[in-house]
Structure 1
Amino acid sequence: MQPDAQQPNQPRPVDTAMLRRVCGHFVTGVTVITSGSGTQAAGTTVNSFTSVSLDPPLVLICLHNDSRLRPVVEGTGAYVVNFLSAQQEVLARKFAAKATASLRDVAHRPSATGTPVLDDALGFLSCRVVSATEVGDHTIFVSEVVDMGMPTRFEQPLVFFRGALRALQEAR
């Protein structure tokens, strides 16, 4: 073996900027996670959501450990996953920014857990937290779905692809 030859199984340090670019090629849906109630109600835009199990009905979300919503979810023990339509890009951007994240100007109603459901969401899942695990710089919340709904009209979903929000048919 040559002394300068790279070992095929030797891991190299991960370039986080490159990791972000590579993961950007994975299309994800866009959600606003809402939690709390009254003046404590809050929301944030999240694309780290997935279904875990149908029986029992479990889903998970990941929130950054510094997220303004993390302590609200921990205190409430519940949240709503609001799926956004392509027409809700402005709403996604609103809840992605710290300074503009407020439910005061957004039509919503209480879910079965008391946490807010956005009125114009493409669909929603009301969830109770089953477990929370800190991993890296995020907390993974695994939760049981206790209520759900979707409108009768069909709309294109809002997706995130290559660092941009767009309608599904534009994600080429």
Structure 2
Amino acid sequence: MTAADTQAPQQARPVAGRTLRDVCGLFVTGVTVITSGTGEAAAGTTVNSFTSVSLEPPLVLFCLHNESRLRSVVETTGAYAVNFLASHQEKTALAFAGKSTAAITDVAHHASVTGVPVLSDALAFLSCRLVNAFDGGDHTIFVGEVLELGVPRQSQEPLIFFRGFLGALEEEPRGVHPIFDG
């Protein structure tokens, strides 16, 4: 054992929010619009913090800023839909991304089994019943059970988010590699 092995670890410095955002921007994500509410209370917002959680039971999650206008809609409705956007839907992503966004009535949509709107032109969708919400710092983590799903646009490419920009995949995947979930 050397003297270096016995020294106490250096104290970590606080991570700046902007630096964290820049580094996490190097992780390619898909782009979704989360929709919730019914009737005139229906609303949506663009989100890239989405992931699957479990196959049995079928659970997914997404995160919303605590000050998001959609937060209270999801909590009140108890349901939401995750709409995966296709590469040609950049304008839709931007329309739902700001503080003052498009209205659900501005886009083609239909009601899901949970009653919340699904964007009819989405690449795919998951309609979920809210099962839990967790504090996540300045965000709330919403976990939902998938009750309905669909893939109406199977032959289209997804819209992706990388380094702060929206875009499309540039080329076809070169092979399928299994992902092992451990």
CA–CA distance in structure 2, aligned partners of residues 30 and 102 of structure 1 = 18
Q: Matched residues in 2 for 1:91 and 1:152: separation?
A: 16
Give the Å deviation of 1:124.
Answer: 0.2
Deviation string, structure 1 residues 81-130 (Cα, Å, up to 9, x no partner): 00000100000000001223311110100000000000100000000011
Give the corresponding residue for 1:167.
168
CA distance in 2, matches of 1:167, 1:27: 11
Tell me how far apart the structure 2 counterparts of residues 164 and 64 of structure 1 sit (CA, whole Å): 20
Distance in 2, matches of 1:131 and 1:100, equals 26
- Does 2:121 match 1:120? yes
| Counterpart residue identity of residue 79, structure 2 | A
Q: 1:162 to 1:49 in 2, by over 3 A?
A: same
- Report if aligned partners of 2:107, 2:119 keep a CA contact under 8 Å in 1: yes
Runs of 4+ in structure 1 off by over 3 angstroms are 6-9
Question: What is the match of residue 20 of structure 1?
Answer: 21
- Residue type at the aligned position of 1:40: A
- Give the Cα–Cα distance (whole angstroms) in 2 for the partners of residues 152 and 120 of structure 1: 7
Counterpart in 2 of 1:90?
A: 91
* Residue of structure 1 in register with 2:177 after alignment: none
Percent identity for Structure 1 against Structure 2: 66
The equivalent residue for 1:146 is: 147
CA RMSD across the alignment? 1.5
Q: Which residue of 1 aligns with 2:108?
A: 107
Letter in 2 for 1:105: D
> Structure 1 regions of 5+ residues with no counterpart?
none
Counterpart-to-counterpart distance in 2, 1:66 and 1:80: 19
Aligned equivalents of 2:138, 2:29: Cα separation in 1: 20
Mind listing any 5+ residue stretches in structure 2 that lack a counterpart? 172-182
- The TM-score with structure 2 as length reference comes to 0.87
Provide the aligned length of Structure 1 versus Structure 2: 166
